[in-house]
Amino acid sequence: MTRWPLPEPMALALQEAQAAADSGEVPIGAVIVKDGRVIATGRNAPRERHDPTSHAEIEAIRAAARLLGNERLEGCELWVTLEPCAMCAGAIAHARIGRVYYAASDPKGGAVEHGARVFEHPQCLHRPEVYAGIGEAQAAQMLRGFFQAKR
C-alpha cells in the first residue's frame, strides 16, 4: 500500500497502463529513466500490434535502446506496474538495466519473485537491483477492474 505521493515515473507507468486498458489490452505500463529523466515509455499491446513480445517492458526497452543508439541501457532504471514475466526479466538482464521498480507482484505469471526467478540463476548474466511495491494498490486495482469488466 502506498501512503505517499507516487514517484513520477510510477505515476507515468500507471498512465501508460490506463492507456493500454483503454485500447482493450491488459493494463500494464512501463517507463525507462536515465539520469533522473524519463527517456522512454511503453504499454502492453500484443493484440493491437499483433506481437506476442509487445509487453510494456519490452516496448519501453526497445524505445530507449533505439533512442540511445545502444543495445545496452547501462545506468537506466525501469519502472513497471506489474512484476515482470520471464520474457521481460530476460530482456531487462540483456539490456543491463541497473534498477527495476515494480508495483504489483504477479503470482500467476511473474518470474522475479515467483516461478522461474530469472535473476537468481548463474545463467542470468546481469542482475539488476529490484524494488517492489511502490504503486501496488493502484496497479492491482486497475488490473482487477479490467478483468472484472471483461466478464
CA–CA dist 129, 39 (Å, integer): 19
Nearer to its own copies, 97 or 103 (CB): 97
Nearer to its own copies, 16 or 25 (CB): 25
Q: Please tell me whether 85 is known to bind a ligand.
A: yes
Which residues of the chain form contacts with its own copies (CB under 8 A)? 46-47, 49-54, 58, 61-62, 65-66, 68-73, 85-91, 93-96, 107-111, 114-118, 121-125
Q: Please tell me whether 76 is known to bind a ligand.
A: no
Nearer to its own copies, 112 or 142 (CB): 112
Contacting residues for 44 by C-beta, under 8 A, at least 6 apart: 17, 20, 25, 26, 27, 28, 29, 54, 55, 56, 59
Class of residue 2 by CB neighbours under 10 A (exposed 0-12, middle 13-18, buried 19+): middle
Active-site hit among 16, 25, 57, 136:
57
Q: Closest distance between its own copies and the C-beta of residue 55, in Å?
A: 8
Q: Closest distance between its own copies and the C-beta of residue 103, in Å?
A: 18
57 as an active site residue: the answer is yes
Q: Closest distance between its own copies and the C-beta of residue 28, in Å?
A: 13
Is the CA virtual torsion 36, 55, 107, 150 positive or negative?
positive
Taking Cα atoms as reference points, which of 42, 111, 104 lies closest to residue 76? Answer: 42
Q: Please tell me whether 55 is known to bind a ligand.
A: yes
Taking Cα atoms as reference points, which of 36, 39, 105 lies closest to residue 68? Answer: 39
Contacting residues for 108 by C-beta, under 8 A, at least 6 apart: none
- Residue numbers belonging to the annotated binding site for Zn(2+): 55, 85, 88
The residues annotated as belonging to the active site are 57
- Residue numbers belonging to the annotated binding site: 55, 85, 88
